[in-house]
Structure 1
Amino acid sequence: MNKRLRIPDLGGARAMILHRPHATVEALTRQLRAIGLATSDHWPELPAAALGADYVFFDTDMGHDGQFPWKPGEAPMPMIALIGSEAPGRIEWALRQGADAQLLKPVGDNGVFSALLIARQAFESRRASGDEIAGLRQRLAERQTIVRAVTLLAARGKTEEEAFAQLRQLAMAWRETIEQAAARVVARHATEGGRDDRRELP
């Protein structure tokens, strides 16, 4: 069963518009305020306060790197590109900034509400995917740490099975997860400069 789109409550949300003074800004502001959003427009760059905004609309025609208080593609909110020129370079730049939706200029009397919904959905999906990937990378790193710890313990004259059993015992003794115990074994080995003097870990 397909998951239904959750319509966010836009009343009271904050939208910032990064665009030079223009009729586009006036038309966009009218629609946003009619929907219930608070707005502010800025040029040539967004202030640090933009980090607390719920949405950001930005001009692609005259936009450039360094206008945002975050790195390209790392906006903490949905980004909506205001597109006048459809030159490939401009579209590529907008995508590099992390555009979640777009509005073609000149902005008329509609289109903003759907752009907000699409941007929110795309942003949340992208963030969920990023969290999932980060979780998978963390799990992989933890497994690699366990393998490394077992290898280090086995170098003390144990079989891999015996080394893994010792790692479990260490985790129990230290009241840690096996991943945490493995990280401690590996860190201790690094601190000792890789020295193997056959001492048993406590």
Structure 2
Amino acid sequence: MLRGLRVAVIHAPDQDGEALIRQLRRIGCQVQAVWPAPIEPPPGIDLVFMNLDHRFQPAKSWAMSEDAPAVVAILEYENPVILKALIVTGVHGVLVKPLRPAGILSTLVLARWLHGYHRRLDSKVRKLEETIKAQRDISKAARILAEVKGVSESDAFETIRNQATRRRISMSEVAASIIGAQDVLKDLSRDE
């Protein structure tokens, strides 16, 4: 699980940074030292350990992008600005200086687990949002169809279901076609 893990250490070359790199290599990680701090996470990295202080506070995009790595912050001190940066950056773990070998492995494992958990939750949320949007579109299309054909909404819903089955496409695709057709007709009637 950890052997071959690609880790970037964003830390000035000093005693703490070197100690962290040595410990990560002992664990079996492929470590890449990065300094100065980049604007974006290094590509192809699974986990980032980064020194977080008043000089370097990465943008929100570090945590928001889909392929963002897990992030562990390294702190020299705590204050309201740094604590806000922890939240904005979306870190998955924290180490406090002076760094010691004890705690690095457990922080790494928990950060990876938390990162994976958040990814799974984000995926579920996206799927639920898509399902809700599809249901709204299907309901809107059923209302449009009911009005145009002069039938009940339940009959219009059945028509949409039958069209989807016959064409072997989703009901939301049929609904999108109906909504799109209505929009085109509205545009045409405005042009006249």
Tell me if both proteins adopt one fold, taking TM over 0.5 as the criterion.
Answer: yes
Q: What's the offset of the Cα at 1:47?
A: 7.6
Contact 1:19 1:42 in 2 (8 A): yes
Residue among 52, 57, 80 paired with 1:60: 52
Aligned equivalents of 1:195 and 1:163: distance in 2?
24
Match of 2:61? 71
Which structure 1 segments of 5+ residues have no match?
1-8, 197-202
Match of 2:179? 186
Structure ranking higher in helix proportion: 2
- The count of corresponding residues between Structure 1 and Structure 2 is 185
* CA RMSD between the two structures: 2.1
Contact 2:75 2:94 in 1 (8 A): yes
Residue among 17, 21, 24 paired with 2:13: 21
Deviations 1:12-44 (A, max 9, x none): 111101122221111100100110111122223
After superposition, residues 1-202 of structure 1 pair within 5 angstroms as 9-46=1-38, 50-61=42-53, 62-66=55-59, 71-74=61-64, 76-156=68-148, 157-193=150-186
Q: What's the offset of the Cα at 1:158?
A: 1.8
Contact 1:149 1:185 in 2 (8 A): yes
Deviations 1:46-101 (A, max 9, x none): 387822111101111132235xxx81422522110101111121021022111001
Aligned equivalents of 2:49 and 2:151: distance in 1?
61
Amino acid at match of 1:190: D
The percentage of aligned residue pairs carrying the same residue is 26
Amino acid at match of 1:73: A
* TM-score normalised by structure 1 residue count: 0.83
